[in-house]
Every structure is written in C-alpha cells, then in structure tokens.
Amino acid sequence: MTSAEVAERVRRGQVNRTPRSRWAEYDGIVSRNVVTLFNILVTPAAVALFFLEKYQGAIAVSGMAIVNTVLGLAQELRAKWQLERLAILVETKARVRRDGQVQEIPAGDAVLDDLVLVAAGEAIVADGTVVESQFLEVDEALLTGESDPVRRQPGERVLSGSFCVAGEGSYRAERVGAEAFAQSISLEARSYRYEPSPLTRTINQLILLWAAGRISDAEMVTNMAATITSMVPQGLVLAATLSFTLGAIRMSQRGAIVQRLNAEETMAAIDVICTDKTGTLTTNRLRLDQLRVIGEVNEAEAKRLLAMFASASVDRTNKNILALKAALGEQAVQVIDQLPFKSQNRYSAVRIRDGGTERVLVLGACEALKPFLESNSCCNRVCASSCLLRRRGRSPSGRRWTGSRCGRFCWSG
C-alpha cells in the first residue's frame, strides 16, 4: 500500500482500533470511587438537607464523603496515567509493507488491506487471508481452545487473537478494529445491561411515592440525617483513606505504582508471594561465546555449517539464530526444505544444497537429538560435554555456552 491509500483509510476510520470515547475509559474508576457504601448512606441525607436549605448540616454530612471520594479518584487516575505511559513501552507492534518497504508500527495503526508480515512469536493483529507462507503455523488456543498449532497455507484465513508459533508469512488485513473476530468477542463479553424485574420496578415506585409524601417534613429529614451520620464512622473512613494515600505516595517515590488504595492493606496481609522467575533480567540478547567441536569436523568447517544453518533458518526472530548470525555472518544458501523450531520437538532442521552435496543441518537440545546421533560413544561425549557446559555456564558475567552436535538426521518430510 502507498501512504496516500493508508491516509484515505485512516480518514474513513478503517483502522485497527476500537472506536471508544476517552471518557468511557474512566467510567470504571469513577464508579468504584463514587458508588460506595459510605457514599450511598451519606449522600441522600446530605442532598435532602441541601434542598431543605439546611446548608450547614449538608456540608457537615457530605464533607468527609467528598474528601474521601476525591482522594480515591486522584490516586487511581494518577496510577492510570502512569500505566498508560508504561504501556507505550510494551505496545504490540506489527510489521507492514508500505511504499515498498517493511515498516514496524503499533498494531492499532494497521489499516484495512495492509499487508502484514508475521514470524514466530508475533501476534496476528487483524483478520485476514494468508498471502505468503513459509511453514507458517499459528496457535489459536485463545479462540478455539485447541492447543495444537495449525498450519496455514496461502488463501486460508487467520484470525486476530492467534499467535504465530513457527515459520513466517504474510496476510492481507480484511477485518480491523471492532470488526475483527477477537474484538467482536471482547465487546460482546463486556456488554451488560441491567433490566429490573417487575417486582423491583414496583418497589422502586412505592419508595418514590413514600419519599414524595414525607420529604416536606424538615424535622424528620434532619433527624434521619443525624441518625445516619451517627451510624457511619466518617472519621475512621477518612483516616483510613488518608493513611492509604500517604502510603501510595511513599511507594511511588520508590518506583511502585498503586492502582487502588486498598491494595496496600491487602499487600500487608500477604504471607507468601509466589513468582515465576525464568532466567535473569538482562538485555534479552544472546551472544556466541565459545564453540566446542565434538567429532572429526574441524572448527572452521563447523563455523561454516552453523553460518549456513542460521542463514537458511526461517526462525528469524529466534535469539539463538540472531546470535549465530551476529557472530558468524550470513551466507547465500539454497534451501530445499526445513523444519521450524517447536517447543515440543526442541530442535529445528534445514535441508540445503552445499555445492553439489545435499546436507541436513540440525540444531537442538542434546536430549532431543540423542535418537539421531550416530553412536552411543558420540552420544555420551555430546551429553557429557553439554552437562559440563551447563555447570560452567552460570558465570558472574552472564555468559551462555553453546556446543555443537554431531550425528545423522533422517529427514521424514
């Protein structure tokens, strides 16, 4: 697509974002802080005193409720603005081809008829038809409940909400924004309308009629307000809100974001926190530090084969492949066929033509490749070396070790 075509679709509203008023994003925050049990008890009495021109009593009754509500709203709105700034850093991206070049844009900026490129680990951001497929497999578990990846060929449909788990390809965006499958399901799930029953409507009408007949009795309303305010510990509620607000300010100074004030009290009651820590917080980049050759192949030949494997691999976003390309460079390779990496297999393979020879190159875990190794002695050397590298791999500098594997892989198509 050209920039002019993109601008025209943006003007028509054919963009991959759901049209929603910005004020609608804050309805949940307002309702949580305004419609509280404390406010429900105090507000009617304050309003009644106001209409009876007892302004001093109305201010006395509603003052703490107003302060409590304002503090809660201010804290949640502040947390929301901070989270919105953080969301920019982790916003889902999409790769599209525009003006003959591949551009990376926010997923919400994709438009109708965009040619979207996808590779392993990337999300399908709109509904569309596959144009190109190189061993493209998608995970539609969020949509269908089926955990097995599905192979997609040119002409077949892909749906937003699914993920590419192997291979790469491209698709034409045909449904974007609210018309996309995932968005339509999400909007339908969020829609809710309350319809009162006939009995509820009758009771509400009786309450209104009773209130209309009694509201003129100023003394009765004053007594009711006094009774309600004496029953509700307004000072305790205000003190708790102020304490939580001060705690949220102190936590924000240490880099923590408190979305709701009562989260502090909940956190104080926690005995055990369980987290899933995978790896160490680093730059999320791998580096080839050492190549250990096992077998009769010399190191120069092993590096050449690894460079050919990395150049031929379709897993272009894989950290291991990127590390091999950065260390060994890229080579022109004639690819015949390949098996993209899958977590179930724990290996990937390419079949290439090297001069007049056809080669099968495999990269994977030692345990996964064990059935394909030529001999038990070779297998034992590989596994022993792998264990040694794992023991040495955890160093203060954060280095990771990679070992080469030898053997024969029987291509099964």
Active site residues: 276
CA angle 260, 266, 270 (to 5 degrees): 140
Q: For helices 37-51 and 55-89, what crossing angle results, to 10°?
A: 140
Structural contact between residues 384 and 361, judged by C-beta atoms closer than 8 angstroms: no
Q: How far apart are CA 223 and CA 201, in angstroms?
A: 28
SS3 for the chain is CCHHHHHHHHHHCCECCCCCCHHHHHHHHHHHHHCCHHHHHHHHHHHHHHHCCCHHHHHHHHHHHHHHHHHHHHHHHHHHHHHHHHHHHCCCEEEEEECCEEEEEEHHHCECCCEEEEECCCECCCEEEEEEEEEEEEECHHHHCCCCCEECCCCCEECCCCEEEEEEEEEEEEECHHHCHHHHHHHHHHCCCCCCCHHHHHHHHHHHHHHHHHCCCHHHHHHHHHHHHHHCCHHHHHHHHHHHHHHHHHHHHCCCCCCCCCHHHHHHCCCCCCCCCCCCCCCCCCCCCCEECCCCCCHHHHHHHHHHHHHHCCCCCCHHHHHHHHHHCCCCCEEEEEEEEECCCCEEEEEEEECCEEEEEEEECHHHHHHHCCCHHHHHHHHHHHHHHHHHHCCCCCCCCEECCCCCCCCCC
Sequence length of the chain is 413
Q: How many CB atoms lie within 10 A of CB 311?
A: 19
Q: How far is CA 403 from each of CA 229, 289, 320, 381, 388, rounded to the nearest angstrom?
A: 75, 10, 12, 11, 10
Which has the closest alpha carbon to 409: 303, 292, 309, 330? 309
